[in-house]
Structure 1
């Protein structure tokens, strides 16, 4: 018994010694060491848990939008026949030369099952023949339904033997900077190609028209023009239109006509045969001009009203020079392109509610949009307006257009305030006639412009 007790005590002692040695020499202890740190402290930047799926891009699924879009985007081929002189004598005397076809390509978006397609005006301009190829490689002849060069939107149609896949217009006003988008088109004559990017900016003014564009960094190259810009739901939010590049190829960003503008243009063409454009009737100086800088206008957030057009909705609503437009309906206005981009979706007769800053006072003014009453004619650059009833009585005429602005070249001819009655043998009844007839003036010939002054005296100006 004593022997057994002795062995037990030795075993316990040996185990204790072994455990102590292990703890002392082999087990890693955890220590909390506090030291004085002279460097910058470290802080967590968020209390939110990170996504278990990793970075945000991994959570975006482009496949649904791509599948909905590729079959609704088509390849558009424009064939233009040009006459090319065969020799010097044909060139000099204008004899008919050889006819050579020139082929241009672009993209288009099917917007109805019966074959209506929206594309860019520059894709189908001057076409002698148009053809459309679907994503399944079937080709059809296309006809032009209508165009709007100002917005660079055109509507064409094909007659297919079945209902076609199509895209619905989304609401481009609801797009947000940073939102993921896909650009779908036919770059370099390839079939439907999908590229991804984000909305880089909204209401971008390219300086060519009074229109605003969506800017994206989704890759767009020659051949993409007229293609679709869609969100991750597959909604059509823009028609890809332009890139800014010194090489002619994509360099990091591109531009699209917002879907709300494209939709309105298409609806006008289908219902009226042309685009019904309503305007406010205001002018605003460009922010990068010396005038704007000297008067502090370049620092204003909003649209500074510099002038009010006669017989416009702005004049009837008693807007004043110096007013600053802050909002139109529920759209915040930071720059002129914000305003024109929204107004471009409206028609004459529509009313908009403007939030105005007038000398520090906040006002709300309802303005009825009206048809454009003035424009600058090509060739001479004169600004002309339609005659109102007071003008007709004053000048004792039932038709014509009044000259309200004269470029520096013609300031010495005393033209301002006179009414243009005819160009050559053609009567000028309104500003649309004036634009057409001035646009047809040849720089190589003489054109007689018939005018009338405030005394009722007729004058003639020979333009060459």
Structure 2
């Protein structure tokens, strides 16, 4: 199934909401919010034929229209137009939409429900959440909508979407919240899923609760055809509002940076580490940065951040991003069966994006090998380091082969991966791994935790030993 991008949502002050039965009509709500929803047309000069135009399913009654529209201008440089949606969030003309709606445009035109059109200025964008903020000068106060608290939305609650589907102008659709906490591909994803009809052109438009507050920005659909099949995604307003506030204030985002690489604590990893529950964020690597300065180490499980529980790796990523830069925050970790509280002064993520090491290539065969856990292993030697571009100080056991029928293969281990720890202890020799497996069995463990590196990216993998 294809994931087709294009739609939107936003937030308002947190208010208590109640469950309501199906309304007899959405007309009053549509009348209330329509003046604040806008159509967005963008224009850009491109070198060849337009290829970013609105698309419709084959056989659609609009197919001929869009084919004619796309083919204007011959093969020379021409203007490409794209359509999307947005909504006004302040009477002085700030407008929220998707980044992909306006990306690359040199002209942005806003059309209001009244038919009035105004040019818009780009204030700032955030590709990581696909949010953009625009500004128009209307010369008069504009009707606007506020953000609601997306955390209060429950699966089954009524919602209403409004936007500019397939370039047909202002259109309303209604449905329910189908799921919460959906992740698509971004580090900060927190999408509401809805069955309210969302199509191309709805991108950047608002998803409303029944109080007329924006609780999401319509951003994407899941569809094999390019049209709505009732699986749409709106970025939750509690993510959007923080981004919008920073874009309005700074013209860019300013996210906190902890300086760790992390993964989820799965049940098998929890068992291998002797943890009571599969929760928190497991630290796989601590490069130079705030976390290392504060004493966080590989193998720590971060269970609380700034006073709030950490459910998984994505939860921690979002909490760190929202935390203040340059201020110390308490971080609670589990380490070697005990709990420690550390104070971490966060940096700014945009200034400290971690670099990656060269990708691994298959390692050559070595004379000393061992087969265990479905793996053929050999100690890392100078020739392997040269082939992989590794530092001379790098140590571990290289995977020469993985049995395709093994648990190791199922969990993603591959030839060329490097095992640097077993049972949270360094392994350099084959005997080191054998000793750690024997120790785990003696302690009654069902699995052993391996720290595996691929192209500089570490992750923990738990493999059964019985």
Q: Does 1:109 align with 2:73?
A: no
Q: Does 1:368 align with 2:320?
A: no
1:207 paired residue among 181, 185, 189: 185
CA distance in structure 1 between the aligned counterparts of 2:28 and 2:254, rounded to whole angstroms: 36
CA shift in 2, pair 1:198/1:131, >3 Å: same
1:68-119 CA-partner distances (Å, limit 9, x unpaired): 322211100111222238xxxxxxxxxx962222211110111111111111
CA shift in 2, pair 1:287/1:353, >3 Å: closer
CA shift in 2, pair 1:345/1:230, >3 Å: farther
* Unmatched runs of 5 consecutive residues or more in structure 2: 1-18, 50-73, 363-384, 393-466
The residue aligned with 1:78 is 42
CA distance in structure 2 between the aligned counterparts of 1:284 and 1:162, rounded to whole angstroms: 49
1:407 paired residue among 331, 335, 359: 359
CA shift in 2, pair 1:108/1:246, >3 Å: same
Distance apart, 1:187 and its partner CA: 1.1
Aligned residues: 326
CA distance in structure 1 between the aligned counterparts of 2:331 and 2:29, rounded to whole angstroms: 36
Distance apart, 1:178 and its partner CA: 3.7
* Unmatched runs of 5 consecutive residues or more in structure 1: 1-54, 86-95, 377-381, 384-404, 419-464
**Contact residue 213 and residue 258 of structure 1 kept, 8 A:** yes
The residue aligned with 2:302 is 325
Distance apart, 1:133 and its partner CA: 0.5
Q: Secondary structure at the match of 1:344?
A: helix
Q: Secondary structure at the match of 1:211?
A: coil
CA shift in 2, pair 1:287/1:186, >3 Å: farther
CA shift in 2, pair 1:341/1:178, >3 Å: farther
CA distance in structure 1 between the aligned counterparts of 2:102 and 2:271, rounded to whole angstroms: 41
The residue aligned with 1:152 is 130
Q: Secondary structure at the match of 1:57?
A: coil
Distance apart, 1:195 and its partner CA: 2.3
Q: Does 1:344 align with 2:296?
A: no
**Contact residue 261 and residue 345 of structure 1 kept, 8 A:** no
CA shift in 2, pair 1:276/1:374, >3 Å: closer
CA shift in 2, pair 1:328/1:60, >3 Å: farther
Measured on the aligned residues, the alpha-carbon RMSD in Å equals: 3.6
1:113-160 CA-partner distances (Å, limit 9, x unpaired): 111111111000111221111111111111212212122111111121
The residue aligned with 1:257 is 235
Q: Secondary structure at the match of 1:306?
A: strand
1:347-378 CA-partner distances (Å, limit 9, x unpaired): 423555545444554555554321136436xx
The residue aligned with 2:53 is none
CA distance in structure 1 between the aligned counterparts of 2:308 and 2:157, rounded to whole angstroms: 18
1:190 paired residue among 168, 181, 197: 168
CA distance in structure 2 between the aligned counterparts of 1:374 and 1:292, rounded to whole angstroms: 30
CA shift in 2, pair 1:331/1:320, >3 Å: same
1:27-426 to structure 2, matched below 5 A, reads: 57-58=21-22, 62=26, 65-84=29-48, 98-285=76-263, 300-312=278-290, 314-329=291-306, 332-350=309-327, 352-359=329-336, 361=338, 365-372=342-349, 374-375=352-353, 383=356, 405-408=357-360, 412=386
Higher relative contact order (CA 8 A, sep 6+): 2
Q: Secondary structure at the match of 2:82?
A: strand
Q: Secondary structure at the match of 1:301?
A: coil
**Contact residue 76 and residue 107 of structure 1 kept, 8 A:** yes
**Contact residue 187 and residue 314 of structure 2 kept, 8 A:** no
CA distance in structure 1 between the aligned counterparts of 2:164 and 2:121, rounded to whole angstroms: 20
Q: Secondary structure at the match of 1:244?
A: strand
Distance apart, 1:65 and its partner CA: 4.3
CA shift in 2, pair 1:303/1:195, >3 Å: farther
1:380-410 CA-partner distances (Å, limit 9, x unpaired): xx62xxxxxxxxxxxxxxxxxxxxx222269
Alignment TM-score, normalising by the size of structure 2? 0.61
**Contact residue 155 and residue 266 of structure 1 kept, 8 A:** yes
Q: Secondary structure at the match of 2:189?
A: coil
CA distance in structure 1 between the aligned counterparts of 2:196 and 2:344, rounded to whole angstroms: 38
Distance apart, 1:331 and its partner CA: 5.1
CA distance in structure 2 between the aligned counterparts of 1:64 and 1:350, rounded to whole angstroms: 46
